[in-house]
Structures are given as C-alpha cells and as structure tokens.
Amino acid sequence: MAYVTVDGETVEIDGEKNVLELVRKAGIELPTFCYHSELSVYGACRMCSVEVDNMGLVAACSTPPADGMVIHTNTKRTQRLRKMVVELLLANHHRDCTTCDKNGACKLQSLAYQLGVRKVRFGERKEILPIDDDNPSIVRDPNKCILCGDCVRVCSEIQGIGALDFVGRGADTCVSPAFGRKLGEVECVNCGQCVAVCPTGALTGKSEVEAVWNAVSDPSKVVVAQIAPAVRVALGEIFGKKPGELETGRIVAALKKVGFTKVFDTVFAADLTAVEECDEFLRRLAKHERLPQFTSCCPGWVKFAEQHYPEILDNVSTCKSPQQMFGSVIKKFYGKELGIEPKDIFVVSIMPCTAKKFEAKRPEFTEDGIPDVDAVLSTSELGLLLKQAGIVFDELEGQAFDRPFGLTTGGGVIFGVTGGVAEAVLRTAAAALKIDLGCVEFKEVRGFQGLREATVLLGDVELNLAVVHGLGNVRKLVDAVRRGEAKYDLIEVMACPGGCVGGGGQPQPNDTESRKARGKGLYLSDRMAQLRSPSENLAVTKLYETYLNEPGSELAHEVLHTNYGPRRRISGDIKINDTSPGALDVSVCVGTGCYLRGSYDVLQAFTELSDRDDVVGKINLKATFCLEHCENGVSIKVGDKIVTGVTPENAEQIFGEQVIANLETGRASCLCSSGCVSTDEEKTRR
C-alpha cells in the first residue's frame, strides 16, 4: 500500500489520479475554478495549490500522488496565494454582482467571501465588452469570464463541437466563438452544457421569467404550463432537497399560486410521442427503409444533425418533441374545446433544457405568426420565479395535474433519462404487436455509459438498438454507422450527458452523481405508476378517437410531425483577400460536407490561381459555410451562380471556366435554370 500525509493525517492512495482527490478524500475541500472531475486537467487557476515537502507550491489538480508525500493545504503561503488569485480575478471582473444572474450562486463570489477577501488592492476593469445575447438559449458576458476554460473543454471534450475556444495571447486572451462571431452565429447547438459548468455569470441561460410574469398578469391570456419529467426530480435542489426527490405535487401547487390557469404534464405528450414514434418505427421496419431510425426528442441533437450530418436527416424520426406536440395539441384542439383562440393561449414549457428555448422559436413550430410554445423556463428559472413570488416551497401541499392532460404512464416519465425514450418505444411496440412479455421493463437499454448497445426480442422480431448521450459520443456512433461498421434498427440520441436529467437548465452542481440520482427518481416514479406503457394512456386514446383518428394518420402527421433540413454551421463569410469596389464575388463552401470533400484545398488552389492569373483585386474571394448543396460535393458561388462538383483536381479548370470567363464576359457560365449546375452536367451540355 502507498500513503500520503495530508495535514498530519495518513491517507491511502487507492487509484486517485492527483493530489486534489486525496486531499478531498481526507475531508478537506480545496477551492478550485478550472478543475472539473469530468474534464481534462487544465491546472491554470492555481486555486488548489498546496505545499508539498521537498517540492514547494504545486497545483493539487495536476500533481500525481507519490508514496510518502507530505502535503500541507493551509499554510500562510497557500492562503496568501489563494487570496491573491481571487483578487486578481476580481480586478479583471465586471463586479456588478447585485444585478448579475448568478448573484448568490457565483463561485467567485462565494470564494471571495470564504477566503476573506474584503478589499481588492488592484484597479477595476476599465473596458466593458458588449454582451452577446443574440442566442435564443444562452447569454455570454465576456466581462465576467475568469478564463477557467471549463466551457471550452466541455464543448470540445464532451460535446465534440468546439463552439468556444481561447482567442488571443497574454493579457488579450479571451474565450470567444470562432472568428469573433456571436454565439448564435456559430455551430452552437444550444445544449447549455457550457452554462452548466460556468462558475460565474459569464455564461447563463437566457431568461424568459419576465415574459411569463407579463403573461400571468395579462387578463386576456389563458396561461397554461407543461412540466417535463426531469424538472420534478431536480427543482427541489434549489430549495435544499437532494437530487432525485420527486416534487411533482408541490410544483403544481406552486404554479397555481403564481397564477397559472392550467398546469399539465409533459409526460402526456411523451406518451403521445412514444405512440407516434413506435408507429413510424414499425412501418419503417416492415418496409426495411430509412433504418436505423434516430429519435427526435432532443433539439440539441436535431440541430447537431442538421449542421454536421445532413445526409442522415431522412433517418431522423419526423415526430415532434413532446414539448412541441403538447403545444400543438393545446393550440389546435384544447383551445377549440374551451372556445379560446390560439393567440389568447400562452403556453409555458418548464424544461431542464436550454435548447428547448431554441426549439420553441423554430419557424417549423409557428403557424400564422403564433408559436405552439410561447415561453420556455428552465428548472433554474422556475426556482427563481417561485422565489420572486415569495412562495415557501417546503410548506406547500401537493396538488394533482389538471385534466385531461394530467393522465400519464411510467413510460412517458422515463423520457427524462438516457435510455428512457427507447424503452418507452419498446413498451409501446410490444403492445402494438400484442406481445405479452410479462414485464414492461427493458433494462438492457438502461445505464449511464456514453454508448450502450442492446438486442431485444419482440416475438419473432430481433431488434438491435443503441442508446447514446453526449454529442462527442454521438459523433463516434454516427460515423461508425455511416462507414457500415455498426448496424442498428433504432438509435436513441440525447445531447446532454445523462439525458434530460443533465440538461443545461438544471441546478448546479450538474455532475454525474446528481444526474444518476435524478434518473433514479424517474425510474422510481415509473415503478410506482399504475400504467406503465404509453399505449395504455386513455387520454391519448381519446385524443385519437376525437381528433387524430389513428397513429400515423394524415392529420396526426400534420399536427404531430415535422421535417428538418441542412443548416449552416457558421453564418456569414470569411474574407480571404483585399478587393476593389465592383469586384466579382467568389465564394468556396467550407461547411462540413464540402470540407470533407476537399474544399480547403480548393480554396487554397483558388488563392494561388488568383495570384498567378493576376486577378487579385478583381475578385472578392471568400470562404462561406453552407451553399446548401451538400450532396453534390464541393460547391462554389461565382457572382449569383452556384457550381457544384468541384474537386482539388479540377479546381484549376473550374477557376478558368467560371471565374476567368466571368471576368472576361461579365457573366457566369452556370447553365441550369435553378442557378446551380454540376461540372459533369456542364461538360455533357457542351
């Protein structure tokens, strides 16, 4: 056995990777900013510095333990160093704490108090940078960033996107989206995992609390709430409860006291989603077409697919998410029953997810200028709203959901945890195929591993399933499917680690243990439910009988389904060369599809050819991020005309035929009526 000594106490080394873990094992909570147990070690903030005999001051997070180490955590030097670090951070921090969204929950604020920092000896920040609030889900305030790098690493290492990164050097270093763009202009999928790890107010969810208060105060509005499954096992944390404790009844009671007209359960719509998605899956399975079927409940995943894998969109289920199904049903059917116009119904979704804010604003979910969902509150925002209302949460007596959208099943409840959607679809499929399995639970798809595979037998039908969460894992899985290395019938995808229980709008800490506890609470709720399969939901059955006819009907598709298309990863263009007024615009697409087919080599070739042919200043050469012809190879745009099928090998020929010829004749040689022609078609027509 190997041991270290921490402040005089002997501690055994048992697989711990760094000194910090051993110090915490000894019951001492060292302060940290840049350390996160689920991310790579960064070791930049030095808040966790300790003194080690014969080594001096070291960062505990990045120092591996060794037998015989003698560690001191609270010497004068370490205390002085930590206070100095906090003072330096505060000196470069916009200290508007009283009006900050993270006031009372800011790690920098709490550590300043804990370490006794009552005065900052350094000057205050002079330059105030603009706040980036164009993103529908996330607000970025660079003035409050402490360069801990947690957002950079979670976006890159866990989500595999890299929408944020370090820019500049020395004192000019900052965290920013690519090319100085706003967060809403780059490939951010709105998942909010950066918000979940940010220790200050640099990244926060975009609040819609004020919009909800305005609606509640408007006598002309009927304000309806829907509550997602993962909210009921997390809201209690804001009021001192443990993760996973079910607070469904109190949440309903609290919303009634706030002034909501009706409070419904999103689980009803989850049951409806399971029925529709199961019907769609069984139809595809019977025809052996568009398999594997990917689930579509997660808006972060759908946007990721639109941006990175548009070629698989036909495999994504056309079902709307439960949030959007609920909004559609309320506006189209429930309002009519009450004699209320859709414009007078204000639907508020209470979700664990920041991406749901983006989803609610998608044009696909707005009809005649009226959105199906009017506002989305995260779990954290709901906690704030209840505190603003002065509600003493612990003293509330629970109430039941309103009818008819309060009747739910356990299958819909588990939508909130990774594997839950797949299990709900399997339960529904078993009922549709009239197979009595004796037990409705499919534990093969449960767990918190990033990727899980399962083979399930439904009668004579053998189904191969995959469950994946965290977009970094999703990318690996989709790439394997595209290469033919993995074959599945159904794939459940969730953008956030753990599924919705780990959504970006959940209370902090939003770590693995909290996510597992919340998931455990949802499975407990499922076991306690009288109805377990979504097909048993009588309210769903009545909805079909009254309005929709049957699953997969024409009206069901109109109300409950949608379609998605390719999406630009980054908005706008990047200028490559200097130009003169009236220069010819020449753009090379460097979006994902074109990038993989060699667009950067094409761009490099065009740059060299413009020098060789002495057309610098006559053309405005740019890189653009999507010309939306991904299936036809590298695309370029010359003037107003798009040409596809460009390769590094034919780049010189195309430059001469399209760019030089255009400069000489004043027109592009694009031949198709739509303004787009492939190079092979052009040769044939000539």
Residue numbers annotated as active site: 277, 280, 297, 317, 356, 359, 364, 500
Record the tokens describing residue 301, joined without a space: 């995943």
Helix (H, G, I), strand (E, B) or coil at 490: strand
Q: 406, 266 in Cβ contact below 8 A? A: no
Helix axes 266-287, 420-432, angle to 10 degrees: 60
Nearest one of 29, 65, 33 to 47, comparing CA atoms: 33
Long-range contact pairs involving 171-179 (C-beta distance under 8 Å, separation at least 24):
173/147, 174/142, 174/145, 174/147, 175/142, 175/145, 175/147, 175/149, 175/151, 175/202, 176/142, 178/570, 179/570, 179/574
The rounded distance, in Å, linking the Cα atoms of 144 and 199 is 10
Tell me how many degrees the CA angle 187-189-191 measures, rounded to the nearest 5: 145
Dihedral pair phi/psi, residue 154, rounded to 5°:
-70, -35
Residues sharing a CB contact under 8 Å with residue 459, sequence separation 6 or more, in sequence order: 433, 435
Q: How is 193-215 classified by DSSP, letter by letter?
A: HHHHH-SSSSEEE---HHHHHHH
Q: 445, 418 in Cβ contact below 8 A? A: no
By the 10 Å C-beta count (0-12 exposed, 13-18 middle, 19+ buried), 179 is classed as middle
Q: How far is CA 165 from CA 194, 277, 666, in A?
A: 12, 38, 42
Q: 464, 488 in Cβ contact below 8 A? A: yes
Q: How far is CA 131 from CA 134, 152, 205, in A?
A: 9, 18, 13
Record the tokens describing residue 167, joined without a space: 């820019």
Nearest one of 572, 75, 535 to 274, comparing CA atoms: 535
Residue 286: Cβ within 10 Å count: 9
